[in-house]
């Protein structure tokens, strides 16, 4: 359950699709000439260490569905499986970029990004989020992201097949007796064996230190003498490790939603569980105070009543991939996912209220967003990669007896989520030692780094940002006073201006700067109000924005549209957005 993969706020992604649709229609649906001239797939480049001649990248239009729709260019870069053996066997890293829109004189270089996870696809992140970046950055930087080794399109690892993953999720996710714990331990052993036997070449080369070495080769390949980097969530670990290994190769580094720089496996689970519990309290308080919230005026009682109802009688949900069951454990899993992003709170409240009349499907969509389960029942490999990275990086291990004691402490401190996050503390026991252990975060010899922490972040609690800033000598901590996971692209102008000023001019915010919480728009009134507000805030006339959003919802229905948003169904939303934008443009927006 310790998955900390941030997606762009769901409604922000839909707003970006609508803005792209408007741009496509007003431009006459023409293809950019620089992309039209490119014809072939990129050829793998030869790799080299940071001191070796930099390889060139053969950029070409992306062929993946999401990346091609976003107009990105793609390339591959061959890197050594063992970074300490540059001439040894290699793997291919998949890269994507959105070229700078400014002049050559304005361009600073590339802004390399990682969305977190571990196991998050940088290509998917860039495809989903590229429209949300301010022009003050896209004029100055190529936006570049990559699938880390073993993830997505970069020689993906696999530990379990789809049926095995379904079985693991259908089991007891918060075991609390000997029989349930024995079953959970057997599942952990199955996962560990699958990772080792199916990925023999990479099982000892999936540490964050390996990823940091790959990123230095990316820096050289894009032609930058110094790295500009934006890391979210687990991406902060990549950045901090890079700073420890290559401090002299950094120009600017933003770490948003920091993981702990030093926590033990038990402490990490404790802090994260209490972080989710704290944000759930904020959700309850906010909902109770808002008459438009479906669970008001007693949100806590409604959540508990729903959980008990599911314990007694789970809900079966018919999908295109067969019948699925929403259990009380999966309900908690979906609820935790909703806490990542305040723009999902309204639809989640409605789903809980209507849990037996369509709401269960919405909660399962939230679960799928975390586990990488697709609409057809298949899974991406994000959870496999996450397991392999987490176990490679874990440097302490508990006995079963010690784990039992720690689990009980976590359950007591976090009654809702402690069972989920306290389970599996021994899952990485007997894991093969990594070829290169990940070093402690350090910034000795690096320029000042910007660390961002969100006070109400459930997945990477604020105290971790404080610890990371303290560990990185000379860094500055920027605080966002809101809720949700990470701040940049969702924390309003105060956060955005601070990040832009730093990345462009290397001007850091004053020590102690705190940015106020921002409304996601519409409160608990629903996805529609949020989208209309975000589109009007992006310069679309309100009449046009309302027409477009209403057109999308009318096409599929409100409940189905909420599910598409919560599940980041970019393909489906893009088709709806293009049709809605065309219809509103031809009708005059009303």
Asked if 377 and 343 touch (Cβ cutoff 8 Å), the reply is no
Cα–Cα nearest to 235, from 214, 254, 210, 263: 254
Contact (Cβ atoms closer than 8 angstroms) between residue 388 and residue 400: no
Q: How far is 514 from 498, CA to CA, in rounded Å?
A: 11
d(CA 466, CA 309): 40
Q: Are residues 548 and 584 in contact, defined by beta-carbon separation less than 8 angstroms? A: yes
Measured between alpha carbons, how far is 274 from 132 in angstroms, rounded to an integer? 31
- Phi, psi (deg, nearest 5) at residue 329: -65, -45
User: Which one from 147, 216, 485, 569 is the annotated catalytic residue?
Assistant: 485
Catalytic (active site) residue 233: yes
What the block records as the tokens of 307 is 């959980």
Catalytic residue among 384, 457, 562, 569: 457
**Residue 457 designated active-site:** yes
The span from the CA of 102 to the CA of 99, in Å, is 9
Is 378 an annotated catalytic residue? no
Token output for 151: 């993830």
What is residue 153's DSSP assignment? Answer: T
List 110, 184, 233, 383, catalytic entry: 233
Structure tokens at 407: 């689990």
Closest to 343 (Cα-Cα) out of 144, 568, 576, 588: 568
Closest of 423, 383, 389 to residue 184, by C-alpha: 423
> Percent helix, strand and coil across the chain, each rounded to 5?
50, 15, 40
Tokens of 150: 């073993």
- Residue 530 to residues 334, 346, 352, 366, 568, Cα–Cα distance (Å): 21, 10, 19, 18, 16
Q: The tokens 């075991």 sit on which residue? A: 175
Structure tokens at 216: 């230095």
386 vs 383: CA distance, rounded Å: 5
Q: Check: CB of residue 155 under 8 Å from CB of residue 79.
A: no
Give dist(CA 532, CA 519) in Å, integer. Answer: 13
Dist. CA 290–CA 138, nearest whole Å: 37
Cβ atoms of residues 492 and 484 within 8 Å: no
- Residue 93 three-state SS: strand
Tokens of 415: 């009654």
Nearest to 148 by CA among 430, 426, 386: 386
CA–CA dist 337, 231 (Å, integer): 20
* 576 closest CA partner among 556, 590, 546: 556
- List 112's β-bridge partners, or say none: 144, 229
Give every CB contact of residue 51 below 8 A, 6+ residues apart in sequence: none
The set of catalytic residues is 233, 457, 485
């Amino acid at each position: 359950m310790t998955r900390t993969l941030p997606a762009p706020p769901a409604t922000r992604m839909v707003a970006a699709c609508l803005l792209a649709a408007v741009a496509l229609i007003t431009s006459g649906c023409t293809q950019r000439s620089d992309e039209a001239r490119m014809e072939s797939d990129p050829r793998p480049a030869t790799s080299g260490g940071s001191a070796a001649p930099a390889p060139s990248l053969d950029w070409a239009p992306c062929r993946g569905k999401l990346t091609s729709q976003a107009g990105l260019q793609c390339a591959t870069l061959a890197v050594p499986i063992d970074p300490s053996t540059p001439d040894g066997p290699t793997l291919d890293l998949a890269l994507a970029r959105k070229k700078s829109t400014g002049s050559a004189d304005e361009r600073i270089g590339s802004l390399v990004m990682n969305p977190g996870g571990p196991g998050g696809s940088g290509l998917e992140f860039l495809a989903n989020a590229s429209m949300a970046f301010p022009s003050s950055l896209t004029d100055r930087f190529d936006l570049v992201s990559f699938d880390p080794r073993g993830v997505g399109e970069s020689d993906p690892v696999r530990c379990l097949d789809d049926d095995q993953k379904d079985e693991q999720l259908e089991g007891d996710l918060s075991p609390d007796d000997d029989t349930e714990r024995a079953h959970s331990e057997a599942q952990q052993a199955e996962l560990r064996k699958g990772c080792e036997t199916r990925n023999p070449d990479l099982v000892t080369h999936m540490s964050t230190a390996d990823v940091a070495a790959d990123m230095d080769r990316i820096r050289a390949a894009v032609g930058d003498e110094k790295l500009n980097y934006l890391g979210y969530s687990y991406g902060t670990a990549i950045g901090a490790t890079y700073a420890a290994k290559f401090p002299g190769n950094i120009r600017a580094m933003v770490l948003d939603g920091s993981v702990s720089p030093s926590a033990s496996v038990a402490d990490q689970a404790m802090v994260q569980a209490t972080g989710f519990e704290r944000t759930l309290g904020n959700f309850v308080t906010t909902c109770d105070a808002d008459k438009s919230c479906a669970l008001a005026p007693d949100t806590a009682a409604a959540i508990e009543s729903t959980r008990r109802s599911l314990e007694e009688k789970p809900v079966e949900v018919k999908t295109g991939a067969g019948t699925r069951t929403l259990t009380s454990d999966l309900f908690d899993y979906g609820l935790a996912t909703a806490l990542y992003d305040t723009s999902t709170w309204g639809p989640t409240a409605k789903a809980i209220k209507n849990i037996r009349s369509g709401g269960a499907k919405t909660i399962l969509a939230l679960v799928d967003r975390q586990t990488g389960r697709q609409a057809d029942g298949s899974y991406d490999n994000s959870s496999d990669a996450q397991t392999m990275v987490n176990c490679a990086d874990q440097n302490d291990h508990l006995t079963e007896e010690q784990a039992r004691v720690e689990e009980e402490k976590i359950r007591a401190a976090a009654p809702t989520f402690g069972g989920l996050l306290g389970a599996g503390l021994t899952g990485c026991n007997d894991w093969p030692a990594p070829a290169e252990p990940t070093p402690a975060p350090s910034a000795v010899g690096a320029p000042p780094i910007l660390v961002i922490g969100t006070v109400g972040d459930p997945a990477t609690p604020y105290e971790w940002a404080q610890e990371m800033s303290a560990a990185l000598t000379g860094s500055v901590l920027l605080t966002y006073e809101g809720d949700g996971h990470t701040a940049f692209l969702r924390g309003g102008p105060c956060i955005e201006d601070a990040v832009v000023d730093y990345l462009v001019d290397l001007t850091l915010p004053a020590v102690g700067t705190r940015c106020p919480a921002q409304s996601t728009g519409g409160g608990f009134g629903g996805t529609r109000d949020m989208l209309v507000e975000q589109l009007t805030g992006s310069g679309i006339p309100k009449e046009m924005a309302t027409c477009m959003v209403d057109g999308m919802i009318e096409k599929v229905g409100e409940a189905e549209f909420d599910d598409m948003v919560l599940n980041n169904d970019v393909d489906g939303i893009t088709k709806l957005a293009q049709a809605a934008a065309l219809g509103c443009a031809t009708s005059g927006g009303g």
